[in-house]
Amino acid sequence: MSSKAPTLATLVASAEWLPHQLDVAGRRVLFVRLAAAEIRAASFLDERVLTGTREGAWVPLAELLAALAPRPRAAPHVIFHVGHCGSTLVANLLERLPGAIAMREPLALRALAELAEELPRASTRLDEARWQTLTDALLALYARPHDGAHVVVKATSSCNALIEPWLAQHPGTRALLVSIALEPYLATILKSPAARADALRFAPARLEALHRVVGDDGVRLPVLADAEQIALGWLAEQARFAAAKARFGARVARLDFAELLRDGAAGFARIAAHFGFAGDDAALARAWHPDVLGRYAKARDHAYSPDDREADLAEARRRHGDEIAAGLAFAATLRERYASLPR
């Protein structure tokens, strides 16, 4: 980190200074300096953007909130998703349109989501009013244009507790909710040890969300196998997505990534129009391009085509067929038990 100390006014005014990390216990926020080109180049805005030469500054939370209080409320458009479902590729495609820039998984959103999940509990670290003030402040900072480009944030898959407050408090924002069908989702998660570990780590919060949907806490995590926990997490997010669509209507678009691949450029044009990034045919063609579609979205220097994806899924089905079947059966059992779950 650089020893330079930017003023608070600079941190608030300049979009180059990104709120990176929220330290709740320390009541402070870490800002890091990232030019628009660096944001575009970063696969994810997490710990990997911190380098030895990166300029940064910690700011006391009380001072930051006071500085932002007079500013109008704002929030960027946003992509939420179930994880490992093509959402990063969607963000990469959108970023190629004129006037758009994608922020992929800003780290501070994870802390906001963890706090949001705490709100119903007696042990919550912030009450709802303070949490909303903090969330409004950080979203306003993310919403600042970068070199004339408007932001669409792609949240981490653990951040879906933010959907309702994000849209309810910011009526000008729109959201895209990305998922895939349960069978390929199970295959995708089970084939990757890292993805499996993430899904199991998120399972407790997703089970709590599912309990709230069905009005019953009869489903218990310790007795469930990995595939069953992954399936219940998928069901919980589908229920959350359905509730958001029912409440916010046209401001929410739902996307099955497999359908996007089938629909091609026409499907992508609908996503661009949803966010107000629609360009002419030439601009859409430049965005929906083999240079993006033929690359692994999370590491764009690696080739990875739709055919490669299908080959990976076929191998996962061969190796994890029994687990996939168990996950599908468990989801069917839950749907039979609880009519409130999406069909």
In a domain, 99, yes or no: yes
| Residue-number span of the structural domain to which 141 is assigned | 8-337
Tokens of 229: 């926990």
Tokens of 106: 């800003």
| pLDDT single digits (tens) 208-235 | 999 999 999 999 999 999 999 999 999 9
CB < 8 Å & 24+ apart, contacts of 207-210 = 207/232, 207/233, 207/236, 208/117, 209/161, 209/236, 209/237, 209/239, 209/240, 210/235, 210/236, 210/239, 210/341
In a domain, 61, yes or no: yes
Distance CA 189, CA 124 (A): 31
pLDDT at 258 exceeding the cut of 70: yes
pLDDT bracket for residue 280 (50, 70, 90)? confident
pLDDT value at residue 329: 98
Per-residue three-class SS string for 216-229: CCCCCCCCCCHHHH
Distance CA 106, CA 46 (A): 6
CB 20 within 8 A of CB 108: yes
In a domain, 24, yes or no: yes
| pLDDT single digits (tens) 181-215 | 999 999 999 999 999 999 999 999 999 999 999 99
In a domain, 2, yes or no: no
pLDDT at 314 exceeding the cut of 60: yes
pTM: 0.96
- Residues 63-86 have a mean pLDDT of 95
What is the residue whose two structure tokens read 């009450």?
127
pLDDT value at residue 305: 83
Tell how strand 17-23 and strand 28-33 pair up: antiparallel
Total number of domains constituting the chain:
1
In a domain, 342, yes or no: no
pLDDT value at residue 290: 87
In a domain, 257, yes or no: yes
In a domain, 323, yes or no: yes
pLDDT bracket for residue 4 (50, 70, 90)? low
Distance CA 324, CA 322 (A): 5
Task: Provide the H-helix boundaries in 104-177.
Answer: 107-118, 128-142, 163-169
CB 174 within 8 A of CB 252: yes
pLDDT bracket for residue 130 (50, 70, 90)? very high
pLDDT value at residue 177: 98
In a domain, 56, yes or no: yes
pLDDT value at residue 2: 47
pLDDT bracket for residue 338 (50, 70, 90)? very high
Q: For position 108, which CATH number holds?
A: 3.40.50
Distance CA 257, CA 84 (A): 10
pLDDT at 3 exceeding the cut of 60: no
